[in-house]
Amino acid sequence: MSDYDPLLTVESVSKRYGDERVLNDVSFTMDRGDVTVMMGPSGSGKSTLLRCVNRLTEVDSGEIRLGDHRVTDPGIDVDALRRDVGMVFQDINLFTHLTALKNVTLGLREVRGFSTDDAREAATEQLERVGLGDQLDSYPGELSGGQKQRVGIARALAMEPELLLFDEPTSALDPELVGEVTAVMADLAAGGMTMLVVTHEKGFAREAATDALFLDAGSIAERGPPAQLFENPENERTAEFLDRVSTVSGEP
């Protein structure tokens, strides 16, 4: 047991907003290279949990550790933690006044201290990796939703994070654009990136995830390999929810 050294440890994390319990004693771990998808109904605490991992939200109690970072320790250098955790947002949040390239170089230059040339080179490489080598000088307003989200992924990747967080990365996209984003994500997963993904894309989960969590009312109701969770959910709420998601996405 003493040899077991997970990358991410979430231990008895609880969080409430006013009277509402958003997270209730949540615990799980992730190893390097794990791809964990989190599913669950709206308001089940998925996004809150994700945001606790990079301290965009503070926990009320419990502990989170990421590598050497004691995430929930109030005294830590939050900027240093965030250098090691990338985040991809539901509403994408590209810097609207900057080109695709500069969206990626900003962090490289200002946070990682790259020179202009080095940042440009590294950013170009990341944008090529997500298939946008020909859109370096486009502004977010000139890109499609799927292209924007791929820039968002490149921006997070460029910081060479140990863990990438995805907060419903495709739910703001038109259905026909979802595929290009999940394809990039599956590619990253295959390349060994550690990813914690809030999504309802069962196709992506089946193909790329090592692990699926089902959150219900702030607690982990069920956890297991995606195939097992989808085919034979043990929990009644899980079954019900997955059924509804399938009806919407038209997937069997």
Partner 1 sequence: MLPGTGVVGAVAVGSLELSIRTIAQLGSDTCGSLPPDVAFVCENAGYLAGGLVLTIALTIASLLVGLVAGFPAGAIEVYGGRYASLAVEAVGTVFRGTPIVVILIFAYFVVPITDWFPIQRVLPVGGAFVAAVVGLGLRSAAYQSQLFRGTLQSVDEGQMEAARAVGLSKLGAIRHVIVPQALRRSVPGFQNEFTIVLKDTSVAIAIGLAELFTRSQDLFVQRTTAVTEVILLISAVYFVMTFGTNRALEYLNDYYAIPGEST
Joined together, the tokens standing for residue 49 give 């949990």
Cα–Cα distance between 45 and 18 in angstroms, integer?
Answer: 14
Cα–Cα distance between 250 and 103 in angstroms, integer?
Answer: 35
Given a contact cutoff of 8 angstroms between Cβ atoms, the answer to whether 27 and 12 are in contact is: yes
Given a contact cutoff of 8 angstroms between Cβ atoms, the answer to whether 240 and 65 are in contact is: no
- Residue 154, Cβ neighbours under 10 Å: how many? 25
* Strand, coil or helix: 30: strand
Residue 252 Cβ vs partner 1, minimum distance, rounded to whole Å: 35
Torsion-angle region of residue 77: left (phi > 0), alpha (psi -120 to 50) or beta? Answer: beta
Residue 197 Cβ vs partner 1, minimum distance, rounded to whole Å: 15
Cα–Cα distance between 52 and 14 in angstroms, integer?
Answer: 10
Residue 227 Cβ vs partner 1, minimum distance, rounded to whole Å: 32
Residue 52 Cβ vs partner 1, minimum distance, rounded to whole Å: 13
Nearest in space to 200 (alpha carbons), one of 164, 246, 232: 246
Residue 26 Cβ vs partner 1, minimum distance, rounded to whole Å: 21
- For partner 1, give the closer residue by CB, 166 or 241: 166
Residue 81 Cβ vs partner 1, minimum distance, rounded to whole Å: 8
Given a contact cutoff of 8 angstroms between Cβ atoms, the answer to whether 185 and 153 are in contact is: yes
Chain centroid to Cα 31, Å, comes to: 15
- For partner 1, give the closer residue by CB, 139 or 235: 139
- For partner 1, give the closer residue by CB, 140 or 233: 140
- For partner 1, give the closer residue by CB, 80 or 190: 80
Tally of CA atoms within 13 A in the half-sphere of 51 that contains its CB: 15
Residue 158 Cβ vs partner 1, minimum distance, rounded to whole Å: 9
Cα–Cα distance between 101 and 109 in angstroms, integer?
Answer: 12
- For partner 1, give the closer residue by CB, 85 or 193: 85
Binding site for partner 1 (CB under 8 A): 54, 56, 79-80, 82-83, 85-87, 89, 91, 93-97, 106-107, 110-112, 138-143, 155-156, 159
- For partner 1, give the closer residue by CB, 25 or 118: 118
- For partner 1, give the closer residue by CB, 138 or 219: 138
